[in-house]
Amino acid sequence: MSEPSAAARAGAVLLDIEGTTTPVTFVTDVLFPYARTHLRSHLEEHAGSHEYDSLFTRLHEEHRAASAGGETPPSWAADSPPARRAAVAAFVDWLMDRDRKSTALKELQGKIWQDGYERGELVGQVFPDVRPALERWRDQRVPVSIFSSGSVLAQQLLFRHSAAGDLTPLLHAYFDTHVGPKVDPESYARIARAVRIAADSFVFISDVTRELDAARAAGMDVRLAIRPGNAVPPAGHGFAVIHSLD
């Protein structure tokens, strides 16, 4: 008899999104360009509410931190609402150019994508093996959670509006960088505490070796996802490899 899979032995599964459940190209070629294209019109439509004022304040704090750290983000002039919107848009473009894992940026992107999903302009992409795997783990009573640098809202939207149907009933919990960076072992410890399952009962699957290093340091079992379009992993990485959630 063959050895059971890591997921079959696990008490819980934790999944990355980009490059694990979802093609990298959907994020880089669809979601990111959509956010750029609709950024300014979205700000004009929604700016002025308390929620967006708070978001803008956090972006301004990040702007000051970047400037204090020796970087040269676009200037921030906020002497009128249009000037403030323009400052936010320029800084958000600057952050996206650098692929910053900014929590405020990810929240704003999620709100822009929400409009796109609700208008039917965006449809979440997942690999064909994702839905069967989620259904199999549900039947095995193995809870499946998501950990992505994209906001929880963005995660839920992708799985709710996926081409494979609404997958959210098959998912237990969602985590973004509010729990910490994906390369910090403590982030994975926090996730384990949040779902009340021991870290050593998890298997975490990602295409990023630094994330796997962090999860393993927290006690999780890990697998490296090698999917079409993913970057070639570093030689000698030492991780068990999967090409499918099957």
Given a cut of 60, whether residue 1 has pLDDT beyond it is: no
CB 22 within 8 A of CB 127: yes
Given a cut of 90, whether residue 6 has pLDDT beyond it is: no
CB 157 within 8 A of CB 17: no
User: What's the gap between Cα 33 and its chain centre?
Assistant: 16
Band (pLDDT 50/70/90 cuts) for residue 49 is confident
Domains, the chain, ordered by start: 6-22+124-242 (3.40.50.1000), 28-118 (1.10.720.60)
Distance CA(171)–CA(169), nearest Å, equals 6
- The reported pLDDT for the residue numbered 48 is 83
Please write the tens of the pLDDT for every residue from 79-118. Answer: 899 999 999 999 999 999 999 989 999 999 999 999 999 9
Query: Across residues 121-147, what is the average pLDDT?
Result: 97
CA neighbor of 207 nearest in space, from 189, 183, 227, 190: 227
Query: Across residues 143-162, what is the average pLDDT?
Result: 97
Given a cut of 80, whether residue 243 has pLDDT beyond it is: yes
